[in-house]
Amino acid sequence: MTTPSNSQVARGTVEPSVGELVLELADQLRQMFIDGCAELGLTFMETRTLRYAARERDQSAIIDSLGLAPTTVSALLGTLERKGLLTRSRSRGDYRRRVVELTVAGRAAVDQLDAYLERRSPLIRSLDENQFETLRSILLRLREPIPDDG
């Protein structure tokens, strides 16, 4: 990694760091996601909760995935349930567990958001399939916890 010279800094010709580029792209993608949520009539957090519910049926797992307080997630799920996008019920095997299932309207909302993001995402529009899969693989690896060397 090279350090920019004083003249590069003064001229404003220093290339952005990888960190800056990632943050800029994250901001663009977040705003695109928020715009897609608005098209669905949902908030950012309602949409995130719905997307996690599409992947995970156990309410406790959804809570863990979102990293929010159980009461917050329960309220979000309640809102989505009142909007007809999912149902919650008690598990047959363990009455303490809550099972979450998307309704047809909930699945359609997730599909609609996915289509919206595919039409607008620079990740999909700017990369070929191999580049996209390489990026996805790298991001999944970076998401893994870093082992403690201590």
pLDDT by 10-residue block (mean), the chain, 150 residues: 58 79 89 92 95 91 93 96 94 80 96 90 82 88 77
Give the pLDDT of residue 6: 58
* Total of domains in the chain: 1
Distance in angstroms (rounded) separating the CA atoms of residues 47 and 102: 12
State the CATH number of the domain containing residue 35.
1.10.10.10
- Domain assignment present for residue 83? The answer is yes
In the prediction, which pLDDT does 2 show? 58
SS3 for 90? Answer: strand
pLDDT at residue 111, as a whole number: 96
The pLDDT value recorded for residue 101 is: 94
Q: State residue 84's pLDDT score.
A: 97
4 belongs to a structural domain:
no
Question: Quick one: pLDDT at residue 139?
Answer: 85
Q: Is residue 45, in this structure, part of any structural domain at all?
A: yes
- Cβ atoms of 131 and 64 closer than 8 Å: no
The domain in which residue 122 lies consists of: 19-142
Question: Measured between alpha carbons, how far is 33 from 74 in angstroms, rounded to an integer?
Answer: 22
* C-alpha to C-alpha distances, 23 to 12, 62, 95, nearest whole angstrom: 19, 26, 43
Please check whether residue 11 is in contact with residue 17, taking contact to mean a CB–CB distance below 8 angstroms.
no
